[in-house]
């Protein structure tokens, strides 16, 4: 009887081992993709013995023009992989500059992700793999051996929107033990994003951890709200569960978000240890979030001393009819007269929103409103928004 029991235990252990071993197909176990080489070139591998064609699409490849709802824009290029006798497709890039990159594959024309890499970010309905080439700028986007802050997902009541809504909040290293109060940066996402976008694609947590550890930025709280007013939480995080993400949800740019933004500020200032005054509040956002930032900061003109517009979607909209969007020039002048420490505008030369930002700067010039301007190359991409955040954060709360 005892011997039979031992056999049963051994058999059960073997079954468990086999089950776990089957979680990763055997043929994928020894494939490394992407592989970052010593010279900073990167090798990609994809096993597809029966495929006729495998292509890599990545943001480090020469861009191609693609048709979008906003007209022709630059999109990631593609390159063909080479197939060996075992059906393993391979491509090695040229040496790359230090950066966080996105990529995916086309297998016989069908887009797919890298089966060998679990590291992927979602933007709207698209999921793309990512990797980091270090020893340069992208070291700021890595989790380094420094003191680390905390990330909390919490819910606030928006009386104006009549729902509880989800926030992502970063608190700097030592916050929990400290008796000090901290300044706050409200960091807003773009269309297709949600309250997790800046922490994922934007690497905001790593950027702030590293800048603070290096003494380049003041310790601060960073609040990352959801700018889609029809959602209580981001995709898969709210009451509606798992559903297909959209690029631009209804009512996201009609003034409701801006008009009810103080629900967020009031919650943060009641819940966290913050310095609750204009000198210690900053607000910044990318694309749609830049649109929100511009209007929130002028609608509440004596609330934020630091304002950052990253590739801001400053353009006329048919649904922008609410009270928030009225008296633009007068409220901008009031904002200027109240005084700001920094009004920051950054955009890429190839961005489809470039001309709209040029026109907005002319308006500010006409009003005599001072601002700091950063113009880079390239277009409407996360690479630039990470750079803008890393440039903007050290300027805050001085």
* Superfamily of segment(s) 25-135: Immunoglobulins (2.60.40.10)
Decide if 397 contacts 218 (C-beta within 8 A): yes
Classify the C-alpha dihedral 270-271-276-279 as positive or negative. Answer: negative
| CA atoms of 250 and 158, how far apart (whole Å) | 18
Burial (CB count within 10 angstroms: exposed 0-12, middle 13-18, buried 19+), residue 117: middle
End-to-end, the C-alpha distance of the chain in Å comes to: 77
Token pair 């400290």 in the structure block, residue: 178
- Calculate the CA 47 to chain-centre distance: 30
Q: How far apart are CA 70 and CA 124, in angstroms?
A: 16
Per-block mean pLDDT, blocks of 10 residues, the chain (398 long): 45 45 57 97 97 97 71 78 96 98 97 95 88 97 97 96 97 97 98 95 98 98 97 92 87 92 98 98 98 97 97 78 86 96 97 96 97 96 97 97
Topology agreement, domain 25-135 and domain 141-395: no
Q: Which pLDDT does position 125 carry in this prediction?
A: 79
How far is CA 295 from each of CA 136, 324, 331, 335, rounded to the nearest angstrom? 35, 7, 9, 11
Closest CA to 307 of 315, 295, 324: 295
Q: What are phi and psi of 119, to 5 degrees?
A: -90, 105
Closest CA to 152 of 262, 255, 272: 272
Shortest CA distance to 379 belongs to which of 42, 68, 56? 68
Domain residue ranges of the chain, discontinuous segments joined by +:
25-135, 141-395
Residues recorded for the chain: 398
pLDDT at 5: 44
What pTM was estimated for this model as a whole? 0.89
What is the SS3 string spanning the chain? CHHHHHHHHHHHHHHHHHHHHCCCCHHHCCCCCCEECCCCCEEEEEECCCCCCEEEEECCCCCEEEEECCEEEEECEEEECEECCCCEEEEECCCCCCEEEEEEEEECCEEECCCCCCCEEEECCEEEEEEEECCCHHHHHCCCCCCCCEEEEEEEEECCCCEEEEEEEEECCCCCCCCCCECEEEEECCCCCCCCHHHHCCCHHHHHHHHHHCCCCCCCEEEECCCCCCCCCCCCCCCCCCCCCCCCCCCCCCCHHHHCCHHHHHHHHHHCCECCCHHHEEEEEECHHHHHHHHHHHHCCCCCCEEEEECCCCCCCCCCCCHHHCCHHHHHHHHHHHCCCEEEEEEECCCCCHHHHHHHHHHHHHHCCCCEEEEECCCCCHHHHHHHHHHHHHHCCC
The CATH class, in words, for 141-395 is alpha beta
Inter-residue contact 104 to 114 (CB < 8 Å): yes
């Amino acid at each position: 009887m005892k011997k039979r029991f031992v056999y049963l235990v051994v058999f059960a252990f073997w079954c468990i081992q086999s089950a776990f071993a089957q979680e990763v197909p055997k043929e994928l176990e020894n494939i490394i993709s992407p592989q970052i080489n010593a010279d900073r070139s990167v090798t990609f591998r994809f096993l597809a013995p029966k495929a006729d064609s495998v292509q890599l699409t990545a943001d480090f490849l020469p861009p191609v023009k693609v048709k979008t709802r906003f007209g022709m824009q630059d999109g990631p290029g593609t390159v063909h992989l080479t197939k060996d006798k075992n059906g393993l497709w391979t491509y090695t890039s040229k040496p790359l500059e230090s950066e966080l990159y996105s990529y995916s594959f086309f297998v016989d024309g069908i887009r797919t992700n890298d089966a060998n890499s679990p590291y992927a970010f979602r933007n709207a309905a698209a999921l793309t793999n990512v990797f980091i080439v270090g020893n340069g700028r992208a070291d700021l986007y890595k989790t380094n051996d420094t003191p680390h802050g905390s990330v909390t997902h919490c819910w606030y009541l928006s009386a104006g929107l009549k729902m509880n809504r989800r926030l992502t909040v970063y608190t700097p290293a030592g916050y929990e033990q400290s008796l000090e109060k901290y300044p706050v940066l409200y960091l807003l996402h773009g269309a297709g994003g949600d309250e997790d976008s800046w922490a994922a694609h934007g690497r905001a947590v790593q950027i702030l951890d590293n800048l603070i550890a290096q003494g380049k930025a003041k310790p601060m709280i960073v609040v990352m709200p959801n700018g889609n007013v029809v959602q209580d939480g981001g995709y898969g995080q709210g009451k509606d569960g798992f559903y297909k993400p959209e690029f631009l949800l209804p009512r996201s740019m009609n003034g409701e978000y801006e008009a009810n933004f103080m629900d967020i500020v009031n919650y943060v200032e009641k819940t966290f240890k913050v310095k609750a005054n204009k000198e210690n509040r900053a607000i910044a956002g990318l694309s749609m979030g830049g649109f929100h930032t511009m209007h929130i900061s002028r609608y509440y003109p004596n609330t934020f001393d630091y304002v950052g517009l990253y590739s801001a979607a400053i353009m006329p909209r048919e649904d922008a009819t609410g009270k928030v969007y009225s008296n633009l020039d007068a409220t901008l002048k009031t904002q200027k007269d109240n005084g700001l420490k920094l009004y920051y505008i950054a955009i890429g030369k190839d961005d489809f929103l470039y001309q709209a930002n040029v026109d907005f700067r002319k308006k500010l010039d006409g009003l005599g409103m001072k601002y700091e301007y950063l113009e880079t190359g390239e277009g409407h991409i996360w690479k630039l928004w990470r750079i803008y955040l890393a440039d903007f954060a050290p300027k805050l709360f001085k």
